[in-house]
Amino acid sequence: MSRVVCFGELLLRMSAPGRELLLQSAQLAVHAGGAEANVGVSLAHLGHAVSVVSTVPCNPLGDFALGELRRHGVDTTAVRRSDGRMGLYFLTTGAVQRASEVVYDRADSAFANSSAGDYDWDALLAGADWLHLSGVSPALNPAMAQATLAAARAACARGVKVSFDGNFRPSLWARWQGDAPGILRELFACADLVFADYRDIGVVLGGEFEQADVRERVDAAAAQAFAAFPRLQWMACTQRTPHSVDNHALGAMLIGRDGTRAMAPTREMLGIVDRIGGGDAFAAGILHGMMRGFAPDAIVRFGLAAGCLKHSIPGDFNPVSEADIMALTGEERFDVRR
């Protein structure tokens, strides 16, 4: 198995109970999360050695977040402790025709107030096979944009593979009028694997993809991305069709620089419990398949099955095993093409 380093902000999620509106009653359920940490927890449950690099406050909220990661087998020794506050977000789960809603409260968190100089990547990447990043971190402020770029550049210089989830959040970039296309281009240039679709590529490289079929748009975007970023080897994404809050269809694609094009059959998900973290579970499934040497068709089916399973589990994390995911694919094992 591989050693993976995940760099990003740890958050606490405060959820209204059941399908209530936020503060409809004076109760909130608490879960730890964060895009990169979600991926790390999944990979730890799949057997990989995972460490999280971040900054949390020296208070009980930071203690809780680190305790939750350790409970799931994630190494937290590289997480800095500092003064400041914990990043929070509040979730109202939708129902029937009412969409779910998220309210962020993460400005000036301990992580957002850290900088590139706070992270010694020579030490943090020692022995690592992969570094996982997302587009949420550079969107927070100029200092975090530089810190994320420093991490990606350090991985490139050391021969560590980079996995990057586009996670474009226009509202975060707008808060400080950040140059999203320019910064994201630099991060894409360091990546071996990106989780992105045609909309993300449109943001990064400009232009629109107007093909009639969504898969044709993804194909065109992937071709443009491979031409623009010589290091990039793989692009993976899902295609989601929401029929209602509780009923979605989800498919997935994996495209390689060498012309590989693998697709997972669309799955119907009825009675969704919690979709938060589904994309992170998909990303972890794809990464696991690559690390284990699965064939491309098996990788994308495994990733989609992992993402679908997350929709059945409350909270941000997807604490399932390889056997759980393989059971959903209907196969006892995946053959490796050598």
Closest CA to 107 of 79, 141, 56, 62: 141
Quickly state the pLDDT bin for 8 (edges 50, 70, 90). very high
Side chain identity at residue 118, one-letter code: D
pLDDT of residue 95: 87
Residue 79: pLDDT over 70: yes
The structure tokens listed for 226 are 């491979």
Q: Give me the torsion for CA of 135, 4, 226, 295, rounded to 10°.
A: -130
What whole-number percentage of the chain has pLDDT above 90? 91
Mean pLDDT of 49-69: 98
C-alpha distances (whole Å) from 187 to each of 62, 65, 308 are 28, 27, 28
Beta bridge partners of 217: none
Residue 338 has a pLDDT of 44
- Using an 8 Å Cβ cutoff, are 45 and 319 in contact? yes
Report DSSP letters for 14-35, one per residue. EE-STTPPTTSSS--EEEEE-H
Assess contact for 160 and 131: CB atoms under 8 A. Answer: yes
Q: Please determine, for residue 330, whether its predicted confidence score (pLDDT) is greater than 90.
A: no
Residue where the block lists tokens 């065109």:
220
Domain 3-232+279-294 falls in which CATH fold? UDP-N-acetylmuramoyl-L-alanine:D-glutamate ligase (3.40.1190)
Average pLDDT of every residue of the chain = 94
Summarize pLDDT for 207-265 with one digit per residue, the tens: 889 899 999 999 999 999 999 999 999 999 999 999 999 999 999 999 999 999 999 99
Report pLDDT for 331.
52
pLDDT band at 336 (very low <50, low <70, confident <90, very high): very low
Work out the pLDDT band at 58, boundaries 50, 70, 90: very high
pLDDT of residue 337: 39
The pLDDT tens digits of the residues spanning 262-308 come to: 999 999 999 999 999 999 999 999 999 999 999 999 999 999 999 99
Give residue for tokens 């789960």. Answer: 93
Of the candidates 168, 166, 212, the one whose C-alpha atom is nearest the C-alpha of residue 193 is 166
The residue among 29, 37, 32 whose CA lies nearest residue 67 is: 32
- Domain boundaries of the chain, sorted by first residue: 3-232+279-294, 233-278+295-338
pLDDT at 178 over 80: yes
Condensed to tens digits (0 to 9), the pLDDT of residues 140-154 reads: 999 999 999 999 999
